[in-house]
A and B are shown apart, each in its own frame.
Chain A
Amino acid sequence: MKQRYQNRIELLQGTLDLLILQTLRWGAQHGYGIALAIRANSGEILQVDTGSLYPALHRLERHKLIAAEWKLSENNQRVRVYRLSAAGKKKLATERSRWAQISQAIAGILGPAGKESEA
C-alpha cells in the first residue's frame, strides 16, 4: 500500500511541486485549498491525490521553499496554512522556464506525428 503511494510521489514529484508553488503565488493557502485550486485551475482535469499532496507540502517545507503556520479559518477551524518563501519564489521562476523547455521539447517530438495523423 505504502509502496504504491511512494511510486506515485516519485513520478509526480517535479510537476506537483511546480503546481503547488504556482498555486501559492496567489497567497497563503491550506492543503485542502491548494488541492481545490489546482483542480479548478486545470479545468477539473488534475485531481491531486492527498497521499501525494501532503508529502509534497512537507517536503517543500523542509526544503524551505514554503513556510507553514497554524491559523484559524473563516469557519473558526484550526488549519495549517502554507505560504511561499523567497527561495520558493526563485525556485518557481526556474522551474517555470524549465517546464517551458520540456514542453517545447516534447511538442517538438510530437509535432510531426500530429501532422501525420491529420493527413
Chain B
Amino acid sequence: MKFPWGDDEQRKKELKEEIASHLQMAARDREARGESPAQAGESARRELGNTGVIQDVTRDQWAWTWLEDLLQDLRYAARTLRKNPGFTMIAALTLALGIGANTAIFSLVNGVLLRPLPYAQPERLVGTTEYYPQGALEVMREQSRTMELVGVSDNGEFNLTGSGDPVRLIGNSVSADFFSVFGEQAAMGRTFQDGEDQPGKDQWVVLSHALWEHRFQSDPNIVGRWITLEGVDREIVGVMPADFRFPSPKTELWVPLHMDPRATGIYWGDSYMPLIGRLRPGATVQQARTEMKIMRRRVLAAFAWRMPDESFADGTVVSLEDAIVGDARGKLLILLGAVSLLLLIACANVANLLLARATTREREVAVRVALGASRWRILRQLITESVLLSLLGGALGLGVAVGGLSILKAALPADTPRLADVALDGQVLAFTAVLAILTGVIFGLVPALGASRVDMTATLKSGGQRNASGGNHRASKLLVVGEVAVSMILVIAAGLLVKSLWILSGTNPGFRAESVVTARITPNEMLCEVPGRCLAFYDELLNRTRALPGVKNVAAVNGLPLGGGAEIFPIEVEAHPIPDGAKVPMFWEKIVTPDYLSIMNIPLLRGRGFTEADAAPEAQAVLIVSKTTAEHFWPGKDPVGQHIRAKWEPNVWRTVVGVVGDVREYNIRSDSASWIDGVMYAPYGAHAIRGSGADAPPAEMTLVIETAGEQVQIAGDLKNTVASLNHDVPVSQIGPLKNWVAEALAEPRSISGLFAVFAGLALLLGAVGIYGVISYSVAQRTREIGIRMALGARRQEVLLLVMGQGAKLALAGVAIGIAGGLTLTRLMSGLLYGVHATDPVTYGAVAILLMLVALVACFLPARRAMRVDPMVALRYE
C-alpha cells in the first residue's frame, strides 16, 4: 500500500542516503571525541539500530496513510463493536429493519419506475392516454410526421382448440409493424410483415416464449405449424424472446389486427385500443402532442358517424413508461416516503444509543486526545465505527429485503405494472450500500461531534466520575421527540388506510356473494353467428347445471360486477334530445338470464324482472335500469314505461320495465366509471345490444351458480357438463364469488397492510427510543433521586417525576407528529376511502395509542427509579 505518486525508487534511494548521512555524522562526532574510526563506526551503527527496519517504518509514513488509518480505524471499530455485543446487536438489528425495508421498497421503485423499458431506445417510445378505434389509428398513422404509430389491443382471450384440452389463452391484436416499432426480432421464425394486418392476409400468430415452452414443449419445428384460435386457423410464424412481454407479462400470443374499413361498427366503434408510437428522428414529445391536437379534428371528420365535439380532447402523448406505470407511481412514492421515515426513526434510535455510550467513552476519547490524536482523527474514528455498524446493519438488511421483497411481490396486486421486472439487482445493492454508509454518517455524526468535543482536562481531572454531559442529553431528548413525531406520522397514515379498508370492506357491493360459485364459459364467438345457436347452448347448459347435485339455481351474465365487464355503447333516451356535437350518454349493459337478479340478491325496486319470454325474437324489447340511472334520467318520474335506444338503431325503442338497486359494477369504490352515464340490464336473447353492433348475443358468459352451501365442489361436474354439450368450449375461473369480491380489495389491503407493518415497526422503535432515553436519564439521576428520597420524597412522587419526564417528551413528539401528519397525509388522500386525511377520530386514537406506548416504555425505568435505595444512591460514585 505504497503511495501512488512520484517515483518510489528515487525516494527510497534518498532515504537510504539520509540514514547513511546520519550514520556518518554520528561516527564523525564519536571520532572527534576520541574513538577510533572503526570503533566509532561500529558504535554509531549500534546506536542507530537496524537501518533496514528504520527505512521500512519510515517508508510506511509515505504510504497512502488515510487508507491505512482507515484500516486501523476499521480494526479498532470492529474490536469495539465485538466488545459490546449487546449494543452491536440491537443497533445492527434496528438498522437492518430500516435499511432492509428501504431496500425492498427501492427495488420495487427501481424495477417499476427507474429501470428503462427493456426495448431499443426506450426513451423514444410513447403512448397515447386515450383509446382510439382502428379507423382513427389508420388516419393518424398516415398523417403523423412525428411518430410511427401502432395499435395494441387490450388483453384479449383466445380459445386454443383442436390440440388437447381446449384452453383459454391471453393475447393481443397488434398492428403489423408493432414489433418493428419496438425494435424487436423474433427468437425463432419472424414477426409480422407490412400489410399483414389487412383482411385476408392476417392469418398469422406469434407465440410468447412461455407459451411455446409450456404448451408446445419447446418444439423446435413449431414455426409453420397451424393452430386454431377462436375457431380461426392461424399459422405460427414466430416465437418471441423470453424477455419480451408487452403489453403485459400475461400476454401469451400476438395476432395481427384485422383492419377492415367495411366492418364499420368494429372499425370505428368496437375496436378502441391504446396506441404506441416511436418518435421519428428529431421529433420531440412536445411536437407529437401538438400534432395529436391537430390530428384530432381530422380523425373526427373521418368518423363514420358524427362524434361529440369534445371526443378525444383529453388525448395526449406521454412517454411509454408513464403510460405503462400510470398511477402506480404515486403509490410507490408514498411507500418509499413511508419507509424512509422508518429509516429515520431507526437512525434516531441508534444515534441515541451512541449518545448514551459516548458519555461512558468520554475518558477513552480524552486519553486519545492527550496522546496527540487530533479532533478530526477522533471524529473519523467514531464515524468509521458507526459506518461499520450500519454496514453490518445493511448486510443483515439485505436478508430482510430478500424476505420482504418476496412477500411484497406476493402481496401486491398481480396487475401492478412491471412487477416482473422487480429484482434485487446490482443497482439495488449499490443503493443499499450507499444508503448504509449515509445512514452511518447521519446517525454517527451528532454523537461523534459531541464526543470529540471532549474537554480533556475536565474529564481527566474528574477521574472515575461520570460527567453527565448536558449537551448529549439534550440532543438525545430532541432525537426522541423527533422519533415520536415521525412514528406518529406513520401510525396516522396507517390508521387512515386501515380505516379506509375497514369502510371499504364494509361497503355493500349491491349483491350477495355468499353461496355463489361463478365460472367463465367461453365458446368461440362464431357459435353465436348462427341465430339461436348460442341461445340454445346456454339454455341447455343452464338446465343441466341446475340439475347438478348441490346446485340450487343458476344464471348467466356477460360479466361479473366489480369490473368483470359489460357491453358499452352510446344511447339515446326518449324525450332527452342531445344537441349535435354534445356528449352522447354512454351506458353499460349487463346481459343476463332471468334468474340473475334473484341469485345475486339485487333488489327489484319497481316494475318487474325478466322472464323466459323476454328472450324470444318476437317479444317486445325490454330493459331494466339501475336506481341511480333512473333518478338521473327521469327525476321524480316513473321510469317504468320510458324508452331508450342504442344510438345507431334509430327505430328500435326499448321499454324500461323495472328498476333495480345499484351495484358496484366498476370497482369496490364506485358503481360505474366516471365517463359512464348509466347502467342497464337486458335479457340474454335476441334483443341484447352489442357494443360492436353485431346482431347476436355475446358468446362468452359467466355462470353464477347458487349452491346449497359454501363448501359445494362443482368444478368437475361443471366441466363435464360443458364438455358433454360442446368439446371445444373452455371453462375457466371457477371459484366462489366471495373470492372475486376479496380480490377487489386486494390493492387497498396490500397497501394498508404494508403501512400497518411500517407503523408497527415505527411504534416499536419509538418505544425502544423512549425507553432508552428515560432509562439512561434515570441512571444518570440516581444520585439526585436518592437525595430527593432521603429528603422525604415518596416513591409515587419519584415515579410520577420520571413518568412525567417521558410524557413531556412524548407529548411534544405527538404534537409535532400531528402537525406533520396534517401536512403529509394529504399526499395520500387518493388512497383513502370514506375517511378524510384529517380525520379527527384517527388522529385522536393514534395520539392516545402513542402516549400509552410511551408511558409503558417509561414505566420500567420509572419503577427502577422508584426502588432506588437512598443510602446506596448517595454512596454511588
Contact = CB atoms under 8 A, between A and B. Distances in A.
Interface of A: 1-2, 5-6, 9, 11, 13-15, 17-18, 30-32, 49-51, 54-55, 57-59, 62, 70, 73, 75, 77-80, 101-102, 104-106, 108-109
A80 B21 contact: yes
Contacts of A101: 456-457
B634 interface: no
A74 B65 CA distance: 35
A17 to B, nearest CB: 7
A115 to B, nearest CB: 17
B2 interface: no
Contacts of B461: 105, 108-109
Interface in B439-470: 456-457, 460-461, 463
Contact of A2 (B19, B57, B370): B57
Given A30-B25, A109-B461, 11 more contacts: A2-B57, A6-B60, A13-B371, A14-B370, A50-B19, A50-B48, A58-B61, A59-B61, A62-B61, A79-B25, A109-B460
Given A62-B62, A80-B21, A105 B57 contact: no
Please give me the 10 A-B residue pairs with the lowest Cβ-Cβ distance, nearest first.
A14-B372, A58-B61, A54-B58, A59-B61, A32-B25, A32-B22, A80-B18, A105-B457, A55-B58, A51-B54
A73 B26 CA distance: 14
A15 B19 CA distance: 22
Interface residues of A: mostly helix, strand, loop or mixed? Answer: helix
B18 A31 contact: yes
Interface residues of B: mostly helix, strand, loop or mixed? Answer: helix
Interface of B: 14-15, 17-19, 21-22, 24-26, 28, 47-50, 53-58, 60-62, 65, 370-373, 456-457, 460-461, 463
A79 B21 contact: yes
A51 B17 contact: no
A27 B527 CA distance: 109
Nearest to B18: A80
Contacts of A105: 456-457, 460-461
Nearest to A104: B457
A77 B24 contact: yes
A30 B372 contact: no
A75 B28 contact: yes
Nearest to B455: A101
Contacts of B28: 75
A78 B28 CA distance: 15
Contact of A11 (B14, B48, B55, B371): B371
6 contacts: A1-B50, A13-B371, A30-B22, A54-B54, A101-B456, A106-B460
Given A102-B456, A104-B457, A109-B460, A55 B60 contact: yes
B372 A55 contact: no
Contacts of B62: 58, 62
Which residue, of A50, A73, A108, has the highest number of chain B Cβ atoms within 10 A? A50
A51 B57 CA distance: 7
Contacts of B56: 2
A105 B463 CA distance: 11
B14 A80 contact: yes
B428 to A, nearest CB: 40
A104 B57 CA distance: 33
B25 A15 contact: no
Contacts of A57: 58
B722 to A, nearest CB: 85
A58 B460 contact: no
B49 A30 contact: no
Contacts of A62: 61-62, 65
Nearest to A35: B22
Which residue, of B15, B24, B61, B371, has the highest number of chain A Cβ atoms within 10 A? B61
Contacts of A58: 58, 61-62
Nearest to B72: A10
Given A13-B372, A15-B372, A101-B456, A54 B53 contact: no
A49 B57 CA distance: 12
Which residue, of A32, A73, A105, has the highest number of chain B Cβ atoms within 10 A? A32
Contacts of A5: 53-54, 57
Contacts of A17: 372
